[in-house]
Amino acid sequence: MNLVRITLAVLGATAALVASACGGSADVPSGSVALVAGTEISKGELDQLLDQAKQGYKANKQEFPKAGTPEYQSIQTQYVAYLVQRQEFRQAAEELGIEVTEKDVAAAEDELVKSRFDGDRKEYEKALKQQGLTPNDYRLTLETSVLAQKLFDEVTKDTKVTDQDILAYYTQNQSQYGTPESRDVRHILIAEKAADGKVDFAKSKAKADRIYAELEGGADFASLAKVNSADPGSKDSGGKLTISRGQTVPEFDKVSFELDKGELSKPVKTTYGYHVIEAVSPVRPAKTTPLDEVKESIRTTLLQQKRNEVMSAWVEDLRSEYDGKVSYAVGYEPPELPEAPTETQ
């Protein structure tokens, strides 16, 4: 498990990394890579992340990009953007009265050890060591993760899902809450091969007709399937299959659901060859799960979707609020985004 790379992902649950300004500025103090509403982001913070990333690459037997290359610049830009957004989040959290305590971080660490390492702290520390980290190094990542979650909870706390929302979702996604018609059949697939390895349909039809005649004469279906069927998934079980309407090739599907229980079909041609099919069970009718049985699971799904949308909108507003409040040291600015093309008449 690459714990170092979680560093860039901890804010991913709430928003994509965004840049709030472009262009290098001489106003950024020496030793810093950016200013966020007057708060410095030191080069030491960036160097620490880059060092951790290098250890992660090394642990995975990958060569870290050399300084000055486009690949290195891309990684550096991502980390600077991460640090900028982290600072924006910290400032927003302070305005909202949100605090991250040592107890919060310790709880997050305990949960991580429990969920990812089955409660084995030694395994957790071993994984960190493989990435060149100590538990103390990783606490900042955990702190950021807790901060992001607390912001998410605060910003989305009033989000609601109505019964009308649930009914609309249920109606629009009926296929998720039902099972099609089904039945048990058994079949023998005859797929004689031509010299080129393709199915010789003429030879297959002739053999299928002979097998059909034998079955009509009272031959044992399971024995003939085991010896003659070209379907490796069912031949050893006497050709038995449980099928659902619409989930097999059309010709096979149509005949299988038209047969009466116990009825044997004449050879049916499909792209695979010829099938002799026998209906073993009655057709089981399609079923739809009642709304009451899935209402709460739909509510949970929709609530998460709505909360994500609310959070995304909040992050966009935050980005707008910081427009013009973020400065980058020369060489650390994000790349200029191309302007949208203008329409001409």
pLDDT value at 82 more than 60: yes
DSSP assignment string, 232-251: TTTGGGTTEEEEETTSS-HH
Q: What is the structure's pLDDT at 144?
A: 92
Taking every pair of Cα atoms in the chain, the longest distance, rounded to a whole number of angstroms, is: 95
Q: What is the structure's pLDDT at 60?
A: 82
Q: What is the structure's pLDDT at 24?
A: 52
Sign of CA dihedral 105, 108, 110, 113: negative
Q: What is the structure's pLDDT at 59?
A: 81
- How do residues 279-311 score in pLDDT, each as one tens digit? 999 999 999 999 999 999 999 999 999 999 999
Contacts of 311 (CB under 8 A, 6+ apart): 14, 15, 151, 152, 155, 156
Q: What is the structure's pLDDT at 8?
A: 37
Q: What is the structure's pLDDT at 11?
A: 41
Q: How does residue 134 score in pLDDT terms, banded at 50, 70 and 90?
A: confident
Least confident of 9-13, 153-157, 162-166, 316-320: 9-13
Contacts of 160 (CB under 8 A, 6+ apart): 303, 306
Q: What is the structure's pLDDT at 137?
A: 84
The domains located in the chain, with CATH, are: 4-160+296-328 (1.10.4030.10), 181-279 (3.10.50.40)
Q: Any bridge partners for residue 326, and if so which?
A: 36
Cα 28 to Cα 293: distance, rounded to the nearest angstrom:
59
Q: What is the structure's pLDDT at 130?
A: 82
Q: How does residue 229 score in pLDDT terms, banded at 50, 70 and 90?
A: very high
Share of the chain above pLDDT 70, in %: 90
> Taking the CB of residue 94, how many other CB atoms lie within 10 A of it?
10
Question: What is the token pair recorded at 204?
Answer: 């297959």
Cα 34 to Cα 196: distance, rounded to the nearest angstrom:
68
For the chain, give the number of residues.
345
Exposure of 196 by Cβ count < 10 A (0-12 exposed, 13-18 middle, 19+ buried)? exposed
pLDDT value at 142 more than 90: yes
User: Considering the chain, what is the average pLDDT of its residues?
Assistant: 89
Q: What is the structure's pLDDT at 336?
A: 62
For the segment 239-259, the average pLDDT, to the nearest whole number, is: 97
For the segment 268-276, the average pLDDT, to the nearest whole number, is: 98
For the segment 94-98, the average pLDDT, to the nearest whole number, is: 96
For the segment 100-110, the average pLDDT, to the nearest whole number, is: 96
For the segment 337-342, the average pLDDT, to the nearest whole number, is: 47
Q: What is the structure's pLDDT at 18?
A: 43
Strand runs labelled E in the chain: 32-36, 39-42, 178-179, 182-190, 240-244, 268-270, 273-279, 287-288, 326-328
Burial 219-244 (b: 16+ CB within 10 A, else e): eebeebbbebbbbeebbeebbbbebe
Question: What is the token pair recorded at 141?
Answer: 């990542």
Q: Is there a contact between 166 and 302 (Cβ–Cβ < 8 Å)?
A: yes
Q: What is the structure's pLDDT at 156?
A: 97
Residue in 81, 25, 91 with CA at minimum distance from that of residue 49? 81
Cα 73 to Cα 91: distance, rounded to the nearest angstrom:
27
Q: What is the structure's pLDDT at 20?
A: 43
- How do residues 21-54 score in pLDDT, each as one tens digit? 444 555 889 999 999 999 999 999 999 899 888 8
- How do residues 179-216 score in pLDDT, each as one tens digit? 999 999 999 999 999 999 999 999 999 999 999 999 99
